[in-house]
Amino acid sequence: MTRTEKIQELLDAGHRIAYIAKHLGEHHEVVRRTIKKEKIEVYTAFDEINPHLVEVFDVWDYEDVLDNWDRMAWQGEIVVIPRSSSQTDTFTSGLLKYLKETYGGLREWVEKRKYYSDNFYVVCVKCEKELPFSQFLSRTERLSGINSSCSRCFYLARSEDAHRAAINRRRAYKAELPYIWSKSDRIEMRNCFGDRCYLSDKDDCDDDHFIPLFTGHGGTYLGNMYPLYFRYNREKHTKNPFEWFEANRQRFDLDPSRFDSLVAKLAEQNGLTPEEFREYTYWCFANPRNLTQIKRDNARYRRRVTSVELWREATGRTYETGNRSIGTKAFEEASA
Ligand SMILES: [Zn+2]
């Protein structure tokens, strides 16, 4: 029997190239070349169709694959490294373990390929794109040594997480801060400020919280709400409204008298003078509360206490306008 016939016989019996090479005492590349040269028919090996039947792979199986990858990449081809996606994929996970033990890891093995290491690609589990190895962040605790998603997807997911957390925090603050915002409250607000942006007279406006919920102060009620052009609202975001207006009024060509009027109206709704209202706003920014602190204050008052009350308590400010009913009465009623 010639060597070619022997190879054919072993292939037909369902053996893989690594096994055949070992059996014949040849290098697996020699076997591979023989198969190609002699046009030997290659059937899919039996144990490759049923990977769970063969759980033990030897060094040659792994070296075979690595050699193949190395040659392809060196020749300028793109090698897509498979992921060990499941526990049934014993070959890939076995290969990764082998790489770890023998070469210090897949990453180390790839990086040793120096100037052609960028020909090794991995599929990102998020965007499912095939990307160079270098576009994955290092993760030493993983068998592959890299993140399962590319760095772009990784950072995207992280910023989405942060965004989601911010939205959740805002929702939680909103739920603990004073909230008197029925349909009629909203109508009253619009009657007071009009249906357009109060600062610019522009259409497309949001009901903006003058003192942002983010500070852990204010709340959603007549006295902290007014219509603001949605772009300004996005721009103002969590900034102190007094400072935001000063910094942006020229840029957006805004009329200071409109802002003064807004402050005067909100101040009145809170039972404060405009000067007090300004002080109170700055106090809120200087003394932000987290969720626990809001809850603690509410527990102390046995209702959702207004920040105006807390400001009075902290600063010892008396009721200069003499109008205690405005600003607190509604909240006492709402929590009764
Ligand atoms: Zn990706």
DSSP per residue, 46-106: HHHHSTTT-----HHHHHHHHHHHHHHHHTT--EEEPP--STT-HHHHHHHHHHHHHHS-H
Pair 41, 63 in one domain: no
Buried b (16+ CB within 10 A) or exposed e, 243-257: ebbeebeeeeebeee
Q: Which residues contact 218 (CB under 8 A, 6 or more apart)?
A: 177, 178, 209, 210, 211, 212, 224, 284, 307
Give residue 155 CA to ligand 1 midpoint distance, Å: 10
105 within some domain: yes
Are residues 108 and 186 part of one domain? no
Query: Does residue 208 sit in helix, strand or coil?
Result: strand
Give dist(CA 96, CA 92) in Å, integer: 6
> Which chain residues have CB less than 5 Å from ligand 1, an ion?
124, 126-127, 150, 153
Centroid of ligand 1 to alpha carbon of 125 (angstroms): 7
- The reply to whether 40 falls in a domain is yes
What pLDDT is recorded for position 49? 47
Ligand 1: centre distance to CA 262 (Å) = 47
What is the rounded end-to-end Cα distance, in angstroms, of the chain? 100
In a domain, 161, yes or no: no
227 burial (CB, 10 Å; 0-12 / 13-18 / 19+) is buried
> Does residue 235 share a domain with residue 225?
yes
Residue 158, in any domain of the structure? no
Q: Give the C-alpha separation, 122 to 145, whole Å.
A: 12
Kindly state whether residues 23 and 65 are assigned to the same domain: no
In a domain, 156, yes or no: no
**How many Å lie between the centroid of ligand 1 and the Cα of residue 138?**
14
pLDDT in tens, 41-59: 766 544 444 444 445 567 7
Taking the complete model, does pTM exceed 0.75, yes or no?
no
Query: Of 49, 67, 84, which one is at a domain's C-terminal end?
Result: 49
DSSP classification of residue 142: S
Percent of the chain with pLDDT over 90: 54
User: What region does 42 belong to: left with phi over 0, alpha with psi -120 to 50, or beta?
Assistant: beta
Parent domain of 42: 1-49
* Alpha carbon of 83 to ligand 1 centroid (Å): 14
* Residue 241 · residue 210 · CB < 8 Å: yes
Tell me, in angstroms, the distance from the centre of ligand 1 to residue 109's CA: 22
β-strand partners of 120 = 79
| Cα–ligand 1 centroid distance for 124 (angstroms) | 5
Q: Which range, of 26-40, 118-132, 191-205, averages the lowest pLDDT?
A: 26-40
* Ligand 1: centre distance to CA 131 (Å): 8
Q: Tell whether 211 is covered by a domain.
A: yes
- Which of 167, 188, 82 has its CA nearest to residue 130? 82
Number of domains in the chain: 3
Predicted pLDDT at 23: 81
Residue 186, in any domain of the structure: yes
Whether residue 258 sits in one domain with residue 308: yes
301 shares a domain with 236 = yes
166 CA from centroid of ligand 1 (Å): 24
Rounded distance from Cα 91 to ligand 1 centre (Å): 24
Whole-angstrom distance, CA of residue 224 vs CA of residue 307? 11
CA distance 189 to 154: 43
Residues 32 and 142 in one domain: no
Element (H, E) at 120: strand 120-123
Residue 6 shares a structural domain with residue 32: yes
Predicted confidence (pLDDT) per residue in 245-298, tens digit: 999 999 999 999 999 999 999 999 999 999 999 999 999 999 999 999 999 999
